[in-house]
Amino acid sequence: MSNDTHQSASDMPHIIFILVDDLGWNDVSYHGSEISTPFIDELATTGVRLDNYYVQAVCSPSRASILTGLYQSHTGIDRYLVSEEPGCLQLQLPLIPASLRQNGYATHMVGKWHLGRSSNACLPMGRGFDTFFGIYGALVDYFTHIVSKTGPTLSGHDFWDNGRAAKELVGQYSTHLYAKRAEEIIASHGNGTVKKPMFMYLAMQAPHYPLQVPKEYLTPYLKIKDPLRKDFAGMVACLDEAVKNVTMALDKYGIRNNTVIIFSSDNGGIGKHGGSNKPLRGTKHLYYQGGIRVVGFVNSPLLSSKVKGTSYNGLLGAADWYSTLVEGIAGGEMNVNQTDGYNMWDAIRFGSPSIRTEYLHTVGGNCNWTPTLPFRDRDPKNVPSMYGTIRHGPWKLMIGDQMQQKVSGNHDYLNGPNGVSLFNTDDDP
């Protein structure tokens, strides 16, 4: 406990953690993108932009790190999960919602889970969320809510409302559905129906592949020649509108003044699915900056006035959110045996230097598989003896063969001699 006093439940801030899926560095207009994101921009530029902020290179590992406060090498989730897997994120690891619930919060999840679904205990409501509305897996059609069958994986309906298959929602676009449910949850806290402070993990499905969006969102982007980029831009426009609607609900129901909004992508963009990380090197799946340095910011009236509208350049990462939310923002007890994270709340809200000097992005070895890919996509001929990426100060050391990742495009910059590369991230992004 760094806090010397407990906050009473009525003072504890509401927390909305908006995680977006595969949004690249160059996919928001405040980073210079051709995609217009006025509402995301407004939140970013009136809050604190996290400009030295890292997540994992693909979906499931980032979600595991965020929710456990552990490095990827400690969560056991080092790649994205597929539907038929028998396992899930280790059940003995406490997650943010369970900890916040113990500290008096109502806990809601809206959106994409992607941390295992093989038993009820693995699902969001088995892991500390009071309510869940969304999808358990990935690659779910935005309108039909059927899993895209892209390999030897399960297919079928994947859209759930508190454990019930929500078949009545078939045909409705998921970004709209998530925003609407988020607004309803905000209303229930704002109008006093739920008296506890709110934690909402709003894990938007967009703009992850498949590239689907109602046609009206494409209108401003008809001039974009690349059809993938055009569809992606429309999805981001709809996502931006969803962020606006959620934020406006906080105003409408009178709880904005005591709410902390956190916004983060879960990994970098990927060009073959419409995303862009320019000017950062590399893409989703890779530990180059484009894969792991992502759009992130915090917006709240609870930030000190001197940091509002500024960038925070201290190092922080996905594993820091557990301590930052539970110990920092909520002022609660951590109730964990192990953490790799730091409570960064004072650093973020006052702009003080980061406690963190180092971040272990990934490490592994002697494994006959390719990092970040599920077993079905691993090439048994590729046998890396060791791989890893670690950051210390501005320096990033990478070991191992990044070319084993299935990533299209020109990657002639990959791999130093003997598979070892050292980057100064200040001048070599």
How far is residue 296's CA from residue 246's CA, in Å, rounded to a whole number? 17
Q: Comparing C-alpha atoms, which of 353, 349, 264 is closest to residue 307?
A: 349
Tell me the residue number closest to Ca ion, measured at CB: 59
Candidates 31, 74, 108, 114; catalytic one: 114
The 40-59 contact track toward Ca ion, x by CB under 5 A, reads: -------------------x
Pick the closer one to Ca ion by CB: 267 or 402: 267
- For 331-348, b where at least 16 C-beta lie within 10 A, e where not — what string? bbebebeebbbbbbbebb
- Binding-residue pattern over the window 314 to 353 for Ca ion, x denoting contact by CB under 5 A: ----------------------------------------
**Closer residue to Ca ion, CB minimum distance, 190 or 291:** 291
- Cα(238)–Cα(213) distance, rounded to whole angstroms? 8
Catalytic hit among 14, 59, 208, 361: 59
Quote the tokens at residue 6. 């407990």
Which listed range, 16-24, 341-349, 358-366, 387-395, lies at the site for Ca ion (CB under 5 A)? 16-24
Active site residue 114: yes
Residue that is written with structure tokens 């401003």 in the block: 220
**8 A C-beta contact, residue 294 and residue 326:** no
Which member of 99, 267, 276, 362 binds Ca ion (CB under 5 A)? 267
**DSSP helix/strand/coil, 81:** coil
Q: Give the amino acid at 239.
A: L
From the list 12, 17, 22, 74, which residue makes contact with Ca ion (rule: CB under 5 A)? 22
Region 59-88 residues binding Ca ion, contact defined as CB under 5 A: 59
Among 12, 13, 19, 21, binds Ca ion (CB under 5 A): 21
Residue number with CB closer to Ca ion (66 or 100): 66
Q: How many residues bind Ca ion (CB under 5 A)?
A: 5
Q: Does 266 bind Ca ion (CB under 5 A)?
A: yes
How would you classify the pairing of strands 14-20 and 160-161? unpaired
Q: Is the dihedral of CA 41, 47, 52, 56 positive or negative?
A: negative
Q: At what angle do helices 174-190 and 227-252 cross, to 10 degrees?
A: 10
- Segment near Ca ion (CB under 5 A), from 18-26, 121-129, 182-190, 411-419? 18-26
The residues carrying an active-site annotation are: 59, 114
Query: Using CB under 5 A as the criterion, which residues of the chain lie in contact with Ca ion when the complex forms?
Result: 21-22, 59, 266-267
